[in-house]
A and B are shown apart, each in its own frame.
Chain A
Amino acid sequence: MAFKDSKLITDPLADNNPITIQVLGICSALAITAELEASIVMSIAVLFVLGVGNVVISLMRNIIPSKIRIIVQLIVVASLVIIVDQVLKAFAYELSKTLSVFVGLIITNCIIMGRFEAFALANGPWRSFLDGIGNSLGYAVILIIVGFFRELLGSGTLLGFPVLGDPIEKTGVYAFGYENNGFMLLAPMALITVGIIIWVQRTKNPALIED
């Protein structure tokens, strides 16, 4: 992989992160990060849809009429999501039930439309594929960080396993008077968590601060 191509994967992880820098996909990041598992599942689903969708749009880029390009992009993303959902229902039923709540959110995820519009319409399939993977991974990093803190501080669990003790029996840190912070499970705290990540990121790299 050429240096320029490898940047397509590494840039979105930090300095061109879709959530913290491009400010795309914020809505789904707020909606589903109350649990770490949901964050991981959503990240995998977006990885697939954006990777394949970017390639499809890139292959069609020279024949899409510019007047209806947004509709074409929406159709591609919606069809991919429906196919994924049907295949999962047939062959991985348990997983499809976990995913069901996110399917609609994938269609409306701004990252997907944003990358189709900004990258796949102007680049070849291989580079578009790398861009899709890179941006999905950048999205995943933020989702997993937010999901980790929200589940840990909000429910005292990680991936459903109690890590801080039992809140009813008052064991572990609960024995010292700690209480789960229910506010962490609500959407406003997700926004604040994303805000803190943005703050930390820009403090560490002042070049990202806009004038």
Chain B
Amino acid sequence: MSKRTDSNLYTILFAIAMVLVVGTLLAFTASSLKGKIDENKRFEKQQNILYAMGVNNNDEKSIEFISTDIVEEEFNKYIKKQYVIEGTKATENPEAYLIDIKKEAALAKDPSYTRKLPLFIGEKDGEEFYIIPMRGKGLWDAVWGFIALDKDLVVKGVFFDHKGETPGLGANINQRFFMDDFTGEHIVDGTTFKGITISKSNADPKNDDKTDYEVDAIAGATITGDGVSAMIKKDLRMYMPYLQTLKN
């Protein structure tokens, strides 16, 4: 005997009802949590920018951001100016950190569009930092980060993160042992832009040589490493004309 639930009409009605119920439930969850999620993302960005310029609660080994309760306050304290660079001119914009560089990169594919490049100027212990956001591709998905430079264009700190790199391998780009290697590295040779290469053949695992434009790669994470190198070169290069004028 066939059951009532086997008829075609019942199956179709069930499918429609299920889609409506699940759709409503998910839409309700997403819209009611959106505000909170956006706020978390904003705080995270502020924490990352501050982390790159060395404002964090790190001890010897750990990675501790400024707590979310005070991050907004600290951000306003340390980040003195925010600029949006369009072509050759830079305009001050106190909300430059909200610019979505992923969207900007997509819009810039249209040659008539002038890409907006956010630049943050931080100040800590009397020293000035230029902090630049970056975004690129890892092995599985996006990688992104911030790099803090001093006025001689020497790296003072970085922060990297990723969406879905392999745990234990590429996912380690957001670990101290990797990020700390960048501190002190040079990115320009005189006036020539060199960037930083994540090198597998680097004979300098302790990273004592700061002018080789190389840091040691993570074993087993070649493609993530190459993605991070490419990201640094591609995004920093766009800022070079402006940073060179600041340097001089």
A86 engages B30 (CB within 8 Å): yes
Q: Are B168 and A68 in contact (CB under 8 A)?
A: no
Contact B36 A101, beta carbon cutoff 8 Å: no
**Please, which residues of chain A bring their CB within 8 A of the CB of B220?**
182, 185-186
**What is the size, in residues, of chain A's interface with B at 8 Å between Cβ atoms?**
34
The digit string for B32-43, where 1 denotes a CB below 8 A from any CB of A, is: 010011001001
Tell me whether A75 and B167 are in contact (CB under 8 A).
Answer: no
A-contact bits for B154-174, CB 8 A (1 contact / 0 none): 000000010111111101000
Residue pair B11, A168 in contact (C-beta under 8 Å): no
Contact B167 A38 (CB under 8 A): yes
Complex contact B5–A89 (CB within 8 A): no
**B14 lies within 8 A of chain A by Cβ:** yes
Does B6 lie at the interface of the complex (its beta carbon under 8 Å from any beta carbon of A)?
Answer: yes
Question: In this complex, which of B10, B166, B219 has the most chain A Cβ atoms within 10 angstroms of its Cβ?
Answer: B166
B22 at the interface (CB under 8 A from A): yes
At the interface, is chain A mostly helix, strand, loop or mixed? helix
Whether A65 pairs with B33 at a CB distance below 8 angstroms is no
Closest-by-CB residue of A relative to B141 is A101
Decide if B247 is an interface residue (CB 8 Å cutoff): no
Q: Indicate if B26 sits at the interface (CB-CB under 8 A).
A: yes
Q: Does B29 contact A (CB under 8 A)?
A: yes
Contact A100 B163 (CB under 8 A): yes
Q: Which residues of B contact A178 (CB under 8 A)?
A: none
CB of A168 within 8 A of CB of B171, answer no
Q: Is B25 an interface residue (CB 8 A)?
A: yes
Chain B residue at minimum C-beta to C-beta distance from A101? B164
Could you tell me the distance in whole angstroms from the C-beta of B218 to the nearest C-beta in chain A? 10
Q: Smallest CB–CB gap between A33 and chain B, Å?
A: 8
Task: Verify B18–A86 contact, CB threshold 8 A.
Answer: no
Of the listed residues B10, B30, B43, B168, the one surrounded by the most CB atoms of chain A closer than 10 A to its CB is: B168
- Residue ID in chain B nearest A75 by CB atoms: B22
Q: Are B11 and A154 in contact (CB under 8 A)?
A: no
Cα distance A26–B232 when bound, in Å? Answer: 37
Measured between beta carbons, the chain B residues less than 8 angstroms from A89 are: 33, 37, 40
Q: Per-residue CB proximity of B1-21 to A under 8 Å, as 1/0?
A: 001011000110011001000
User: Interface 1/0s, chain A 75-89, versus B by CB < 8 A?
Assistant: 100010011001101
B241 within 8 A of A: no
- Known A64-B14, A68-B11; contact A90-B36, beta-carbon cutoff 8 A: yes
- Closest Cβ neighbor of A39 among chain B residues: B167
Please determine whether B168 and A38 come into contact, CB atoms closer than 8 angstroms.
Answer: yes
| Chain A neighbourhood of B123, CB < 8 A | none
Chain B residue numbers with a CB within 8 Å of A86 are 29-30, 33, 37
Distance (whole angstroms) from the CB of A140 to the closest CB of chain B: 16
Does B87 lie at the interface of the complex (its beta carbon under 8 Å from any beta carbon of A)? no
In the complex, which of the residues A34, A90, A97 contacts B37, with contact meaning CB atoms closer than 8 Å?
Answer: A90
Contact A65 B40 (CB under 8 A): no
Instruction: Tell me the bound Cα distance from A19 to B29 in angstroms.
Output: 33
Contact A66 B6 (CB under 8 A): yes
Of residues 162 through 188 on chain B, the ones whose CB sits less than 8 Å from some CB of chain A are 163-169, 171
CB contact under 8 A between A63 and B5, given known A82-B26, A86-B33:
yes
**Which of A71, A151, A185 gathers the greatest number of chain B CB atoms within 10 Å?**
A185
Q: Taking A65-B6, A66-B5 as contacts, is the C-beta distance between A182 and B29 under 8 angstroms?
A: no
Cross-interface CB contact of B5 among A35, A64, A79, A168, cutoff 8 Å: A64
Chain A, residue nearest B175 (CB)? A160
A67 and B6 contact, CB distance less than 8 A: yes
Q: A90-B33, A90-B36, A101-B171 are in contact. Are A68 and B15 (CB under 8 A)?
A: yes
Closest 5 CB pairs of A and B: A34-B168, A90-B36, A65-B11, A90-B33, A38-B167
- Can you report 8 A-B residue pairs in the complex whose CB atoms are below 8 A from each other? A62-B5, A65-B14, A66-B3, A67-B6, A83-B26, A93-B44, A101-B165, A155-B168
- 5 extra interchain contacts, Cβ-Cβ under 8 A, other than A79-B26, A100-B163, A168-B206? A32-B167, A34-B168, A68-B14, A71-B15, A90-B37
